Amino acid sequence: MPGNIKFYTKTSALSALLGVLGAALVIYLTPLKNLNLVAPSIKDANPQAFYEEYRAKPEDFLFLDVRNPNEYYTEHAEGSLNVPINVLYTEQKTLPKSGKTIVLICTGGALSGVAYHYLEHQGFLNLRRIDGGVSAWKAAGLPTVRNSWYSSYNKKGS
């Protein structure tokens, strides 16, 4: 019996060593870009600066509010179209990958950040997010629309 204990101890130690070496090999062979050690970056747009750009050349932008329709209906940034994040997967196929800058907005920036990274992963490079969302938009005194039945991107057919 004492010989079996040594065998199990040696086997366990060998197994642990092989596990550590295997993990080290995987880490060594994995490109660093796949590890996401650096926080992904977002091109944020100051609400006031974006609004001035948008008013000057609205045809250069696709301004999307990714909140749910009820939030959008209650109050949204003037000029934004509602594409709720839960339908972004299907709608992204109709969004322009070039020619227009897609600007995303939500309440405070978190949800539009998720949408930003999703679209970026789908190959969209022409993205911006409104820094601070609708909250910052309103704080800057920019125009909003209240209690308006929502316009959605697919209804506009842009």
Measured CA to CA, the distance from residue 37 to residue 65 in angstroms comes to 30
Radius of gyration, alpha carbons of the chain: 24
Q: So what's the pLDDT on residue 2?
A: 57
How far from chain centre, in Å, is Cα 117?
3
pTM, two decimal places: 0.72
Q: Three-state SS string across 108-130, please? A: CCHHHHHHHHHHHHCCCCCEEEE
CATH code for the part of the protein at 44-151: 3.40.250.10
CA-CA-CA-CA dihedral for 78, 66, 151, 45, to nearest 10: 30
Quick one: average pLDDT of 10-39?
Answer: 62
> What does the DSSP 8-state code read for residue 99?
S
Task: Between 12 and 3, name the one with better pLDDT.
Answer: 12
Query: pLDDT tens digit string along 105-149?
Result: 999 999 999 999 999 999 999 999 999 999 999 999 999 999 876
Q: So what's the pLDDT on residue 30?
A: 57
Query: pLDDT tens digit string along 29-70?
Result: 655 545 555 566 899 999 999 999 999 999 999 999 999 999
Confidence of residue 156 (pLDDT cuts 50, 70, 90): very low
Q: Residues with Cβ < 8 Å from 150, sequence gap 6 or more? A: 69, 72, 73, 76, 82
Task: Between 90 and 4, name the one with better pLDDT.
Answer: 90
> What does the DSSP 8-state code read for residue 141?
T
Q: So what's the pLDDT on residue 7?
A: 53
